[in-house]
Amino acid sequence: MSPNLRIAFRFLTAKKRAMLMSLSCTVLGVGLFIVTQATTSGFEKFFIKAILGADGAVRIEDKIQNTLRTVSAGNDFAVREKEGRKYIDGVEEPRLVIEGLREFPNVIGTSQVIRQNVLVSSAFKNRDSAQVYGINIDEHIKVSDLDQHVTSGSLDDFRQTLAGALVGRELADRLQLEIGESFLVDVRNSPPRRFRVCAIYETGVSDIDKVRVYIHMGEARSLLKKPFGVTFIQVALRDAARAQEEAAQMEETLGYSAKPWQRREKVWIGVFRALATSSGITVTVFTLIASLAMFNTLAMIVLEKTKDIAILRSMGYERRDVTQIFLWQAGIVLVIGAVLGSAFGAVGTWGVSKIPLELHGIIVTKTFQVAPAATHYVAAVATAVVMVMIASVIPARRAARLEPGDIVRGTAQ
């Protein structure tokens, strides 16, 4: 052990109460930072997973048509047109687009979907608004977690039932529908058609679970009178994080609008990020308190140890040794605080994940969602290191500036 570290350790342990106060503030700061980051990112990850599981990474919809551009005819004469893009609803030739999508190595599945707003009625509720999604079930479960989202009934029953339907949990509750019961789907300019509930699913995203009804593609074409084309193609990617880059390439090569999940859910993702930042700032206050406690402890030690500083200086300890002794003290508190704080954060995160929480907002969950990550620990410790070391530099430098002659003469300021 270096002489400076040895002295720092003794100075610190001589001020047990103040040291424990600084230490507990550091432990709290680091621990709470980890817990809050794990919970805020937990809800964000839960939402993203649910969204990817329901709507896939990319959605191909609407053909892009470039509008006419200004054409110069020479001699300052030009045909002037407003430049821009025009979108034509739906995908007219889905097979061709899917063939094009197969050229993308990151694409692992595609599913054609017909979508339309409808009214649904049950024995208990009339003409409630909903959205019909016509799908090929085996194609669709390759681009979604629909099979895992089924909470009652079965997909096999749906496969075998021509007029079968998969109904979202919230919509089923609103219509008071149980498995095997039927309901009417009403589309404008078409007689109502009856469907039977084969399964009820729950994605965890309220906006989906309260409106969406999945039916077979053939039934949807017949009901919605759409014999050709689809509303959109849902695409699953091997690496969903690359959806934005892949979507841009898809738009370029296919000539269709391609919306990555990051753009589709921009608002909610922004909200989650803002929440994470906000809670991060709040918890940084704890670390700030830790740094103030450390400042206070060190300032107190400097005041009480001026004679010791004079002795050390008289024995040949340099100014930088004195600075090091005080920075070591902060370092010792930081190391112990970071280790204990990380342990507290890990236990706290686990504990929070066990707290029951009935949430029916934009997401549906029964417990606190947490997503522990190494980066949270690194960020928490880094914040504590920066704050505490900044707070320690001032008393350490003050200690180093003390003149030994002034101290022994009793005139040190």
Q: Which positions touch other proteins (CB under 8 A)?
A: 3, 6-7, 10-11, 13-14, 307-308, 310-319, 321, 403-406, 408-409, 411
Least CB distance to other proteins at residue 335 (A): 20
For residues 84 and 316, which CB has a smaller minimum distance to other proteins in the complex? 316
Extract the tokens encoding 280.
Answer: 């991060």
For residues 259 and 313, which CB has a smaller minimum distance to other proteins in the complex? 313
Rounded Cα gap, residues 255 and 60, in angstroms: 10
Least CB distance to other proteins at residue 13 (A): 8
Residue matched to tokens 């329901």: 54
For residues 336 and 412, which CB has a smaller minimum distance to other proteins in the complex? 412
For residues 301 and 370, which CB has a smaller minimum distance to other proteins in the complex? 301
Least CB distance to other proteins at residue 14 (A): 5
Least CB distance to other proteins at residue 304 (A): 11
Read off the amino acid at residue 241: A
Least CB distance to other proteins at residue 24 (A): 22
Extract the tokens encoding 15.
Answer: 């001020």
Is 22 exposed, middle or buried, given 0-12, 13-18 or 19+ CB atoms closer than 10 A?
buried
Report the phi/psi class of residue 56: left, alpha or beta, with left for phi > 0 and alpha for psi in -120 to 50. left
Task: Give Cα separations from 264 to 59, 131, 174 (angstroms).
Answer: 9, 18, 27
Least CB distance to other proteins at residue 19 (A): 13
The H helix count followed by the E strand count for the chain is: 16, 15
Kindly report the backbone phi and psi dihedral angles of residue 197, in degrees, each rounded to the nearest multiple of 5, phi listed first.
-75, 110
Least CB distance to other proteins at residue 324 (A): 12
For residues 288 and 311, which CB has a smaller minimum distance to other proteins in the complex? 311
Kindly report the backbone phi and psi dihedral angles of residue 200, in degrees, each rounded to the nearest multiple of 5, phi listed first.
-115, 130
Calculate the CA 171 to chain-centre distance. Answer: 26
Segment holding 45, helix H or strand E: helix 16-55
Least CB distance to other proteins at residue 405 (A): 3
Least CB distance to other proteins at residue 341 (A): 27
Least CB distance to other proteins at residue 319 (A): 6
The secondary structure of 346-378 as a DSSP string is HHHHHHHHTSEEEEESSBEEEE------HHHHH
For residues 78 and 315, which CB has a smaller minimum distance to other proteins in the complex? 315
- Rounded to whole angstroms, the maximal C-alpha distance in the chain is 104
For residues 11 and 195, which CB has a smaller minimum distance to other proteins in the complex? 11
For residues 13 and 65, which CB has a smaller minimum distance to other proteins in the complex? 13
For residues 309 and 363, which CB has a smaller minimum distance to other proteins in the complex? 309
The secondary structure of 225-291 as a DSSP string is T--S-BSEEEEEESSGGGHHHHHHHHHHHH-EEEEEHHHHTHHHHHHHHHHHHHHHHHHHHHHHHHH
Helical H segments across 56-205, by residue range: 94-101, 137-140, 146-149, 155-160, 169-175
For residues 64 and 311, which CB has a smaller minimum distance to other proteins in the complex? 311
Whether 286 contacts 28, CB under 8 Å: yes
